[in-house]
Structure 1
C-alpha cells in the first residue's frame, strides 16, 4: 500500500468484548488490516486499523457502532497519512509487553531489555508474567529496583 494513501484508525473501548466486536466489524466492512491492540489501565483497550483513508474511515465507523452495541465505546479517530514516527508508538505484537521504545532490544528469551523500561512498563510486564511472585496492589506499589530484580529472576 502506498504510504501516501495509508491511514491509521483507532477505536478505544472499555472492555475486551466491545474491542473484539469493533475489530471484527471493522475488518468485515472494508479492505483494512487490524494491526494491533493495546491495553491500558482500568479496562481501556484500543485497536489499531490500517488501510487507505476511505476504507479506514468506513471501518472505524462500523467498528465504533459495533462497540456501542456490545459495550462502551470510549473514542474513535482516523489519522489520514500519519507521520512515519507514529508507527513506532504502536506495538507490533498484539497484547505484547514491550513498549515501542524497547522493540529493538528484545533479549533472546523474548523479553524486552528490562533496564531500558520505565517503571510503568515494568509493572505492566510483571502483571502479564505467569507465576510472578507479586500480585495486584503489590505490583502497583513495588519500586523499580524490586520489579527489575524479580523480572530478571523470572527471565533466567
Structure 2
C-alpha cells in the first residue's frame, strides 16, 4: 500500500521549521520534501500511513500557527497517491531520507 502524503505551506521559514519539527514528532512519518514555494512561502511534505499523516499534519498546522507571525497558507493530504504522481513530484523516498523512513 502506497504511503500517504501530507503537505503544509507557510509564510516564512520559522513557521515551516516549527511545522516540520512537530510533524515528525507527532506521527510515524518521514520528511520527504522541504522547499521554497513562492513569495517567501515554504512547503514541507511528509509520507507515512494515512492515520499517521493526518496526526502529523494537524500537529504541524498547530505548531506553525503558534510561531510569532506564523501563517499556514494551505495544507493537503493525499491518502493514496498514484504511481505517476509519485514519479513526477518530489515526494519519493530518496536515499537521503531512506534512513529515517517509517514503515
After TM superposition, the score normalised by the length of structure 2 is 0.80
Unaligned runs of 5+ in 2: 93-103
Aligned residue in 1 for 2:74: 75
Greater fraction of residues in helix: 1
Aligned residues: 89
Aligned residue in 1 for 2:9: 12
- Say whether residues 1:36 and 2:33 are aligned partners: yes
Aligned residue in 2 for 1:26: 23
Greater fraction of residues in strand: 2
1:38, CA displacement in angstroms?
Answer: 2.1
Q: Which moved more, 1:83-92 or 1:29-38?
A: 83-92
Unaligned runs of 5+ in 1: 93-156
1:40, CA displacement in angstroms?
Answer: 2.3
Give the distance between the partners of 1:63 and 1:57, measured in 2 at CA. 10
Aligned residue in 2 for 1:52: 49
Instruction: Point out which structure has higher relative CO (alpha carbons under 8 A, 6+ apart).
Output: 2
Could you say if the C-alpha distance between residues 59 and 91 of structure 1 is closer, same or farther in structure 2, counting changes exceeding 3 Å? closer
RMSD between aligned residues: 1.3
After TM superposition, the score normalised by the length of structure 1 is 0.54
Could you say if the C-alpha distance between residues 44 and 51 of structure 1 is closer, same or farther in structure 2, counting changes exceeding 3 Å? same
Q: Assess if the C-alpha contact under 8 Å between 1:38 and 1:91 holds in 2.
A: no
Aligned residue in 2 for 1:62: 59
